[in-house]
Amino acid sequence: MVRAMKKETSFGTATMSSALPEAQNYHRWIFSLFAERLQGRVLEIGMGYGQYTHWIADRCNELIVVDIDSVLIKNIQGSLPPNAQAVLADFSATGFPGCIGETAFSFVVCLNVLEHIEDDHAAMGNLYRVLEPGGGAFILVPAHTFLYGEMDRMAGHWRRYSLTAFNQLAEACGFEIEAAEYFNPVGGIGWWLNARLHKPRTLSDRSVNSQIIIFDRYMVAISRFFNRFSRNWFGQSAWMILRRLR
């Protein structure tokens, strides 16, 4: 993995394209990777625009969503289903488990959050502590050091992960790894090209938003097809299913 100095501290909408909520095919692909594992009391860390929140809530008894951005928390409050609650909290803070509840969750969903945290080991330790013994987690992060570029810096990414580094981090924090793969090869090629040829001013530039919409409409199915061949060695992201044994 690579660590890079960020130009400024970024969180919330500054780290996301405004077109992300429209990428429904892409989000459903990610959701399909962990949907069948959702049960009991679930924690969603860094819910962003809430692209997955209602889908998750439909499959569990109770859902707690947390984010560090008070604006995102305020925006999602009025649209939450009855079995969901939004909490303003810092996933990387020492007091996070005490705030959310130690050993309180059956499953945790953490999508594109760890790369924003300088001390990812401390954050993963927090995740371990909020899971009940036997509980599971699905984590998605950006993959491959060589894909790191200007859009990563604008998004406040400290790093991108190899599967090896990702596995070592999880095991160092006490997790058992049930599955780990790279994800979305076509998106990885697009990110590589952007890192070298495209210098947008913001993540919500028209050019970035257009790429997201075109990819979602026309390229997701192609990427899903090739993903079966590339999942062990290349993708825009990497994902992992983890288990706390005790």
pLDDT in the model for residue 197: 84
Helix (H) or strand (E) holding 142: strand 131-142
pLDDT in the model for residue 19: 81
- Mean pLDDT value of segment 206-210: 87
> What is this structure's pTM?
0.92
Q: For the chain, which residues make up each domain, given as ranges?
A: 12-243
pLDDT in the model for residue 4: 36
Query: Is residue 5 over pLDDT 90?
Result: no
Q: Determine contact, residues 32/55, Cβ cutoff 8 Å.
A: no
Query: Is residue 217 over pLDDT 80?
Result: yes
CATH 3.40.50.150 fits domain 12-243: yes
Query: Is residue 7 over pLDDT 50?
Result: no
| C-alpha span between 75 and 24 (Å, rounded) | 20
DSSP secondary structure string for all residues of 21-87 = GG-HHHHHHHHHTTGGG--SEEEEE--TTTTTHHHHHTTSSEEEEEES-HHHHHHHHTT--TTEEEE
pLDDT over 70 for what percent of the chain? Answer: 94
Query: Is residue 101 over pLDDT 70?
Result: yes
Q: DSSP label at 143? A: B
pLDDT in the model for residue 11: 52
- Mean pLDDT value of segment 52-60: 97
pLDDT in the model for residue 13: 62
Q: Residue count of the chain, please give it.
A: 246
Q: Determine contact, residues 63/83, Cβ cutoff 8 Å.
A: yes
Q: Express each pLDDT in 12-34 by its tens digit.
A: 666 778 888 889 999 999 999 99
Q: Determine contact, residues 147/107, Cβ cutoff 8 Å.
A: no
pLDDT in the model for residue 6: 39
Q: DSSP label at 145? A: G
67 bridge partner residues: 88
Query: Is residue 220 over pLDDT 60?
Result: yes
